[in-house]
């Protein structure tokens, strides 16, 4: 942070304390208060106390954008945390990242496709959920059709696109080749982790003639 050393570090929290997602937003608020209190009880951040500025986004993206602007213009916070819906993340992003060039932490699972040096998304993306799980589910149950009733906004739409690709690929081919990391090996030539399991990774690399020599000597 480049803020003056003689003032507290300022954290802005935007969360849905009212509206349909208030059951989550209130919990988020309580956790944030607890964490900030604990940090300050231990001497603060780099010797400075931490101030928490809480704003209610009311489960409304327009409200989220307005309170994000308020945190930038009035509170002059150093970092903003919050947002539950992906559309709310986009609303917060405009005044915080695009306009004020301030650090933004988004702590929810989401659809991916977000890449900016000032945005840190800490939740899992489809590659960490759908790609490891659905090939296993289809193999165990024999299912070839998956139905996913969803709300009509950015996260379910993109999540469903990822799911459609995975299910379609595995419906035609029982080997989950849709996970592209099977070509990654360790620096010493050893096989590394793979969502479909190391035996499948070995078979894929053998079929492609891409097994490292050290691994070939161990296998054959």
Query: 105-128: per-residue pLDDT in tens?
Result: 999 988 888 889 999 999 988 888
What is the spatial distance between Cα 43 and Cα 37, in angstroms, rounded to a whole number? 10
Per-residue CA distances from 112 to 67, 151, 160 (Å): 24, 17, 12
Provide the 8-state DSSP code for 148. -
Provide the 8-state DSSP code for 45. B
Q: What is the DSSP string of 46-111?
A: TTB-EEEEEEE-TT-HHHHHHHHHHIIIII--SEEEE-SSHHHHHHHHIIIIIIT--EEEE-S---
Domain spans of the chain, in order of start:
9-121, 126-172, 180-219
How much is the average pLDDT of 123-150? 84
79-82 and 9-15 beta bridge pairing: parallel
**9-121: what fold?**
Rossmann fold (3.40.50)
How much is the average pLDDT of 51-68? 97
How much is the average pLDDT of 136-156? 82
How much is the average pLDDT of 173-193? 55
Percent of the chain, pLDDT > 70? 77
pTM of this structure: 0.69
């Amino acid at each position: 942070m480049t803020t003056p050393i003689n003032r507290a570090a300022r954290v802005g929290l935007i969360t849905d304390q009212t509206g349909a997602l208030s059951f989550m937003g209130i919990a988020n608020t309580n956790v944030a208060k607890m964490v900030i209190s604990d940090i300050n009880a231990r001497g603060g951040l780099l010797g400075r106390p931490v101030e928490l500025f809480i704003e209610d986004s009311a489960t409304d993206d327009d409200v989220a954008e307005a309170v994000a602007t308020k945190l930038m213009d009035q509170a002059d916070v150093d970092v903003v945390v919050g947002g539950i819906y992906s559309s709310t993340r986009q609303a917060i992003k405009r005044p915080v990242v695009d306009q004020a060039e301030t650090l933004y932490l988004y702590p929810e699972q989401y659809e991916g496709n977000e890449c900016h040096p000032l945005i840190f998304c800490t939740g899992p993306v489809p590659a960490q959920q759908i790609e490891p799980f659905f090939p296993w589910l289809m193999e165990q149950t024999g299912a070839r059709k998956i139905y996913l009733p969803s709300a009509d906004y950015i996260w379910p739409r993109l999540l469903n696109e990822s799911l459609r690709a995975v299910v379609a690929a595995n419906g035609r081919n029982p080997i989950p080749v849709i996970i592209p990391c099977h070509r990654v090996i360790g620096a010493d030539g050893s096989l590394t982790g793979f969502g479909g399991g190391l035996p499948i990774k070995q078979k894929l690399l053998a079929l492609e003639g891409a097994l490292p020599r050290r691994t070939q000597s161990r296998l054959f």
